[in-house]
Structure 1
Amino acid sequence: MGEEVLLRARGVRKSFGNVEVLKGIDLDVRQGQVVSLIGASGSGKTTFLRCVNLLEEHDGGEILLDGDPIGYRMEGGKRRRLSEAKVSAQRARIGMVFQQFNLFPHLTAEGNIMLGLTKVLGKGAAEARDIAGHWLERVGLAERRGYYPYQLSGGQQQRVAIARAVAMQPRLLLFDEVTSALDPELVAEVLGVMQKLAESGMTMLLVSHEMLFVRDVSDRVVFLDGGQVAQAGPPKEVFGNPESERLRSFLGRMHGIFGQIA
C-alpha cells in the first residue's frame, strides 16, 4: 500500500439551517486504503460523503483530492467556488454508489454503464461497450447485460451500479450504505463484489452498518459521533478497545455482535 494521501479533509463543517451536522472533520485516506465510517444515524457519515463528492457544499474547512482542493479555491482569504466545468472534472475522479441504485430505468445494464463512458469520458460506443462488458463480467452479471433494471433483483441492480462507478476509473470510490435497501439474502453478493474491489487495491471510503464486513475489509475505521471524529484507528483497535461508552454502546446495538467483533 502506498503512503500517498489521496483524500485529505481538514476542519470540514456543514450546517443545514441552524443544525451543525459536521463540526470540523479531519480525515485522511491513503492510496489503496479502505476507510470505513461508522456511527449512529445523524452522526454525519452520509453528509461527509456527499461533501467529498460535491453533492453538498461544505461550509468550512477543506477537502483535497490528490492535493487539489475540491469545489473551491482560496483567494484573498476567501473561498471561491470553482467553475462548473472544473467541478464536473473533479467529480469525475470520484465514484459513488448510493443506497438506492439510481439506475436509469430505460437503459439496460450495459447501457447504464456505457452512458458515463460516452457522455463524460468521451469514449466511442464500441470501446464503452467492451468496458461495460468487462465490468459486468467482473461483478458476475455478464449474462444480464441486456436486462433492464426492472428485470434484475435488488442485489443485481446494486452490482450494476458498482460496475458503473468502477468503469469510470475513479481515483476514489465512495459507498453509502449500499446494502441497506437490500433483502438480507442479497447482501452477501454485493459485499462480495466490494471485497474483491478492496483486494484489487481500489481506494474506498465507505459508510456501512455491516460491522463484520467493516472489520474484515477496512484498513482504518472512523467512528463519528455528533458530527465529530470520536475515535479512529485500525479495526482491531476501534472494535476491540472502544475508548468511549458511546462507541461501546453503538457497537453493542449493532445486531448484538459486539462480542463477535471484539
Structure 2
Amino acid sequence: MAEQILLRAEGVRKSFGALEVLKGIDLEVRQGQVVSLIGASGSGKTTFLRCVNMLEEHDAGDILLDGEPIGYRMDGSRRRRLSEAKVSAQRARIGMVFQSFNLFPHLTAEENVMLGLTKVLGKSKAEAREIAGHWLGKVGLEARRGHYPYQLSGGQQQRVAIARAVAMDPRLLLFDEVTSALDPELVAEVLGVMKALAESGMTMLVVSHEMLFVRDVSHHVVFMDEGKVAQSGAPSEVFDRPDSERLQKFLGRFHGIFSGGG
C-alpha cells in the first residue's frame, strides 16, 4: 500500500520492575490499514497498545503518530515527557476500545458517546447529540440511545464503546481483545461492526484471538512472542507459512483452521 505511515514504533521497550515486557518493538501502520497483533497471553500485545495511547509510559524507543513522537520530546539527548495538556491532545487523536467496555453506568448510551465530544472536543450538546445518534445508528443501536448500560447486553455495551471511540474522529483506533469478555453468541455482532469500520477505511491496530476475523480483515499481521516481533507479514504469509515452531504451536491451538497451524 502506498498510503502514508500513520503510526511508527521504533525500538520500543517497557519494563515493569525487573520484568522486561517489550524488548524493542518495531512496527508500522499505514493510513487505512488494519494491523492485527496476535500471540499468547503475556507476549506484550496489550502493553504495546497501552504505550501507543500513553496509558503506559514506554522506557525507550519512539512511538510516532503522523511523524510526531507520542508522549515525549527530545531535549538534546534526554527524553522529556510532554505536558498533560499535550498528552491529552495526542490521546484525542487515538481512539481505544477496551475489553471491559468502560461505560459510565449513570449515563445513557447517547450520553456516553456525547461526553468526549463536549468535554474534549468542545462541541455543543446539540452537535454532540447529532454525532452520537449517527454513530449509534451505524452500530445498530439507534433505538437504544436512551438506555443505560445495565439495560444493554454485553455486545450492545461494546458497540456503544466502539461508537464512542469512532465519534471522536480519531486518526487511529486501537482494539484490545474487545470480544474476550462477551458470551460467544454476542461476539459476531461486535466483529461485524469492526469489519464494517475496516471496510470504510478506518486505520486500526487490533489485538485479538479471533483468528478467522484477523485473517479476514487484516492487511498485516504481527505475531508477538515474549516481548518481540517474531514474525510479521500479510495474513496468508503468517497463517500459511509460519517460520517458527512457536508460531506453528500458537496457531495449532485453533484446531487446524489454518493450513500452517496443524
Shorter-chain TM-score range: over 0.9
| Kept after mapping to 2: 8 A contact 1:2/1:32 | no
Counterpart secondary structure, 1:63: strand
Q: Aligned letter for 2:87?
A: V
Gaps of 5+ in 2: none
Who is 2:178 aligned against?
A: 178
Q: Aligned letter for 2:23?
A: K
Who is 2:158 aligned against?
A: 158
Who is 1:198 aligned against?
A: 198
Counterpart secondary structure, 1:80: strand
Q: Aligned letter for 1:109?
A: A
Q: Deviations over 1:135-158 (max 9, x none)?
A: 000000000000000000000000
Q: Distance in 1 between matches of 2:18 and 2:55?
A: 20
Alpha-carbon RMSD: 1.2
Counterpart secondary structure, 1:6: strand
- How much identity, in percent, do the aligned residues show? 82
Q: Deviations over 1:28-80 (max 9, x none)?
A: 00000000000000000000000000000000000000000000011110100
Q: How many residues align?
A: 262
**What does 1:96-175 align with in structure 2 at a 5 Å threshold?**
96-175=96-175
| Kept after mapping to 1: 8 A contact 2:239/2:259 | no
Who is 2:30 aligned against?
A: 30
Counterpart secondary structure, 2:140: coil
Gaps of 5+ in 1: none
**What does 1:205-244 align with in structure 2 at a 5 Å threshold?**
205-244=205-244
* 1:260, distance to aligned residue in structure 2 (A): 8.9
Who is 1:40 aligned against?
A: 40
Q: Distance in 2 between matches of 1:226 and 1:101?
A: 27
Q: Distance in 1 between matches of 2:187 and 2:69?
A: 35
Who is 1:248 aligned against?
A: 248
Instruction: Choose 3-12 or 252-261, whichever is displaced more.
Output: 252-261
Q: Distance in 2 between matches of 1:79 and 1:20?
A: 20
Q: Aligned letter for 2:107?
A: L
Match status 1:64 vs 2:64:
yes
Who is 1:76 aligned against?
A: 76
